[in-house]
Structure 1
Amino acid sequence: MAALKSRLTPLGTVHRIYTPPGSAPNVTASENNPWRCLSSQHTERTITMSSQFALSRRQFLRTASLATVGAALAACAVPTAAPSGEGEMAAPTELTLWMFGLTPEIIDYINAEVTPDFREVMPGFDMIAEHVPYDGYRQKLSTAIVGDSLPDVHEAGTQAAGRVATSGEGTPLDDYINEWEDLDDYFEANIKGTQIAGRTWGVPTMSQPSLTLYWKSQLEAAGLDPDNPPATDVEYLEAATALQNVEEGRTIVLGGWAPNDWRSFFQEFEVQLQRLGGEMADQDYTEVRFNNELGVAALAYLVELSQTVYPEGVARLPDEAPIPHFPAGNMAMHMRGHGSQPRDVLRYNPDAWDDLGFGFPLMAQEGTGRMNSISWRNFLSVSPTSADVGASVEWAHVFSSTEHNVKYSEFRGTVPVRRSTLDTDFVKESPFLGVYLEMAAPHGYDVINPPGYFELRQSGGNLFEQAGLGNISVEEAVAGCAEIWQEGLDNAPPYKI
């Protein structure tokens, strides 16, 4: 832990709590005197979190209800002006939300349904939702940090926890979410995707877990049993070999999905390494741990799979196509078939629906027996400069509640983040969402999210792609990637706690 402590930058985080006019005086908790009166010039009640004294909003509200604390507050009371008119209400405190996953329809839903439910829990607050395009999103957040103009709540992507924790974009939320009675309702993989440095930096809102999808008729034509699809990495490779259908360089059907560029090579390397029982780095992201036999075995498998599906003379399928490749029938199997794939089958190839098969995520034949697959997971982060951190966290809680998360998933075409959504009509009526919640959601891979992840992924992925093309050896690619990653971890910025 000594290495981790050197990366932590303790910050006194001020949590502002809305105080209606005419209420009890403002109180600040400090290290030496947790309860002291502020002058009448202050207009907010603040609680400063320190290593010696940490008090959450709800803990404060419970404590403040005790008679002894009430007496202490009364002793500090200062005169307040009477309201200027009968029935006059204070203007609500406006919180702001930035999300790249918003549409006008979703914003209307937030305004009409989510925020009114939030106000029932946290009166005196409002939320202003704004769509910020994904292109340039991180740059806009960086600019907002410099200008001290971060939104109260903002969306973060799958591997963003490291950036959120080191850039000043977010603040740890454990003191708040650990009090939620429904915390266990979130799939563990979704919560873990927001964690780094032993802390939780967000509230899950969106997931896209994956399954092994396949076309039953194509397995039958190749002499394979469609009722027993590949369950291991080796079985998938063998099936892809049998299913490959190429004539004189002309691709009829690819045997299965395989990595074919730097991004997919690196993403799938993370997953395959975990299937084998390895890990990219230690928990605190100070030491690379894949420059070993397991790392070489993980990449060697992916290189063999890629060269099986894309041998010399077989062109890689383009990233963009009028109809996605698997729903169009151009692939016999897909080892990382997200929920968007069956949705697109219904959209573009509905007559083939009964031919679509669903298999569990793969495990490694020589690994730990853990089923594992790629999974995208977005979350909402709360800025340390939020007008009220506790209220902002509670808004994210309401937004990710069973009812609203199902509706958000319907808008986005994604998979809900909670177990209880299995009991909703929308999931029950879907021909595939229940399958994904039961078979895929519990088996998402452990997200790798050190600071600087995206730059490290591209640098390492370029080497992995070169190995896939046969330009360098697998061992050279793993060793070179490990060197790049270790340098990145050594120079990573400290976590801002």
Structure 2
Amino acid sequence: MQRNPLLIAFAVFYVLLAVLTWSQDVTRTPDGRTVLTFWHTYGDEETAMLKEIIAEWEKLPANAAWTIRPIRLPFDGHKPKIRTALTVGLGPDMARVDWSFVCELARRNACVDLGTLGFDKIKDQYVTGPLQTNFIDGKYQGIPEQTNCVALFYNKTMFRDAGLDPDQPPKTWDEFIEMGKKLTNAEKGIYAFGMDNTVWWSLPFFNGFGARLISEDGKKCLLASPEAVKAMELKASLFATHKIEAGAWRAGGTPPEQGFQNQKYAMIFTGPWNLPRFSASKLEFGIGLIPAGPNGTSSNVGGNNAVIFKAGKHHQACYDFLTYFTSAPVQAKWCMKLNQIPVNKGAYDLVQFEDKNLNVFLEQMKSTLGNPVVTSFEMLENVVNPEMETVLTGQKTAADAMRDAVRKVEEKVLTL
């Protein structure tokens, strides 16, 4: 495929313009401090908090030679901007990136191996699930920076109306199915559950069965394992066999969050980002852990990681800032202010949330496993999602669909 020279020229011009606009070429302040550039995707409130933390770090005597220059990018556009900047040699010293982007950057040989900076000595401070998303090809290539996961939201009013205890959500999948039959009234369009059908949203099922999707060395797809097949069979049974799931995953179906807010679905999986929305709607809801499978309760990992780029000249200083930023005391301050989940285990005993629902997510994160590490998680979903749908619609057995998924993943995803 031939490259369009006009497009390349435009990309270079765009990055040059961005750099000049952001004054990234300024490498030293008037008082002699060396500038470290940090590209991030925070919102307004987070950015204000970040500036406070940077100021505190810069005041420490050990950091008198450095200043952090935060540069804000739109989240939806941060991946192409970073790709282009790295291509033309104008990337930042460090950046906050979506968890799924770290693997691509690492395999472009763009990230510093944090083990060379001492990360192996402190890695156990970090929550396991987010930490695992940074372990690529035998090295830690990023630091967990912000995290979340999904848990089970349930409608207390609908539980009460079905004769169920509104303070006792299901703890196992057997309980979930039993309660689900009492909560479902298909004639009225009321269902116990509304679910999504993508890889990321299915990880609570797979993880609860102890199924790993990709081998640790990144060379094999493990979706055809007995554990993965059983997890997929359970998920499909909620719709096809037990008929307690609404088909929210189908084209034209009512999405889970909308169905929950409209009190058509008694239970959904979602994350802490929906707490303000559901609270404002006056729903009487509760939150429980994901129902336990044979391997216990587990969830998925969302959020962001921080990486240090090899092209920068000051790796140790960047590492010192990022480990300060994600230290227990700073994480506790950050998370209580912004109602977020700490990435540092030491912060768990320090945070006290006004919204007690957040405590459920703290507990859920303790048992959450890292997501599959692949160069393109988007491609993984494009390949696997249709195969999972064939199971839900009865076109294939779970064993056949997962076997076909393995072949396609190994051909199209693991070769990237």
Structure 1 residues 410 and 317: alpha-carbon distance in aligned structure 2, compared to 1, 3 A threshold: farther
Instruction: Give the AA of the match of 2:186.
Output: V
Other structure's SS at 1:298 match:
helix
- Report if aligned partners of 2:194, 2:246 keep a CA contact under 8 Å in 1: no
Counterpart of 1:331?
265
- Output one character per residue of 1:79-108: Cα deviation in whole Å (capped at 9) or x when no partner: xxxxxxxxx9862111111122x1344333
Q: Distance in 1 between matches of 2:199 and 2:274?
A: 21
The structural deviation recorded for 1:393 is: 1.3
Change (3 A) 1:123 1:421: same
Greater helix proportion: 2
Query: Which residue does the alignment assign to 2:110?
Result: 169
Tell me, in whole angstroms, the C-alpha distance in 2 between the residues paired with 1:237 and 1:375.
25
Q: List aligned pairs for 1:387-466, cutoff 5 A.
A: 387-409=313-335, 413-424=339-350, 427-437=352-362, 439-466=363-390
Q: In 2, are the aligned partners of 1:145 and 1:168 still within 8 Å (CA)? A: no
Q: 1:468-492 CA deviation, whole Å, 9 max, x = no partner?
A: 2334443342122111111145523
The offset of 1:179, in angstroms, is 6.8
Q: Call closer, same or farther: CA 1:408–1:303 in 2, change over 3 Å.
A: same
Aligned residues: 383
Which residue of the partner structure matches residue 113 of structure 1?
A: 53
Once the two structures are superposed, what CA deviation does each residue of 1:321-364 show, in whole Å capped at 9, x if it has no partner?
7xx54355342122x33222333332332xx4xx4333222221
CA 1:318–1:357: 2 relative to 1, 3 Å: closer
Partners of 1:443 and 1:460 in 2: CA distance: 24
Residues 260-299 of structure 1 mapped to structure 2, 5 A cutoff = 264-299=197-232
Q: Extract unaligned runs of 5+ from structure 1.
A: 1-87, 493-497
Distance apart, 1:296 and its partner CA = 2.4
CA distance in structure 2 between the partners assigned to 1:337 and 1:114 by the alignment: 32
Runs of at least 5 residues in structure 2 that lack an aligned partner in the other structure? 1-28
Alpha-carbon offset, residue 287 of structure 1: 1.5
**What's 1:218 paired with?**
158
Question: Are the counterparts in 2 of residues 118 and 398 from structure 1 also a CA contact under 8 Å?
Answer: no
The answer on 1:149 being equivalent to 2:78 is no
**Are 2:144 and 2:305, in contact at CA under 8 Å, matched by a contact in 1?**
yes
Structure 1 counterpart SS, 2:313: coil
Shift of 1:110: 2.6
The counterpart of 1:317, out of the listed 251, 254, 265, is: 254
CA distance in structure 2 between the partners assigned to 1:465 and 1:117 by the alignment? 49
Matches for 1:224-373 after TM superposition, within 5 Å = 224-247=164-187, 251=189, 253-259=190-196, 264-307=197-240, 308=243, 309-310=245-246, 316-318=253-255, 324-334=258-268, 336-349=269-282, 352=283, 355-364=284-293, 367-368=294-295, 370-373=296-299
Deviations 1:137-192 (A, max 9, x none): 211111112101111111222333321210233222123353766x5443222222
Partner SS for 1:378: strand
String of CA shifts for 1:301-325, please: whole Å, max 9, x gaps. 2222244323699962147x7xx54
Larger radius of gyration: 1
**CA distance in 1: counterparts of 2:288 and 2:312, whole angstroms:** 44
Partner of 2:415: 491
AA aligned to 2:317 is A
Which of 102, 121, 134 is the equivalent residue of 2:75? 134
Alignment root-mean-square deviation, CA: 2.9
Contact 1:152 1:386 in 2 (8 A): yes
Contact 1:258 1:306 in 2 (8 A): no
Counterpart residue identity of residue 193, structure 2: G
Residues 161, 210 of structure 1: alpha-carbon distance in 2 compared, 3 angstrom cutoff: same
What SS class does the counterpart of residue 332 from structure 1 fall into?
strand
Distance 1:377 1:429 in 2: 22
Question: For the structure 1 residues 99 and 273, does the alpha-carbon distance in structure 2 shift closer, same or farther, using more than 3 Å as the test?
Answer: same
Q: Distance in 1 between matches of 2:144 and 2:262?
A: 32
Question: What amino acid maps onto 1:135 in structure 2?
Answer: D
Q: Percent of pairs identical after alignment? A: 17
Q: Distance in 1 between matches of 2:372 and 2:247?
A: 30
Which residue in 1 is equivalent to 2:126? 186
What TM-score, normalized by structure 1, do the two folds share?
0.69
Give the conservation status (yes or no) of the 8 Å contact 2:289–2:360.
no
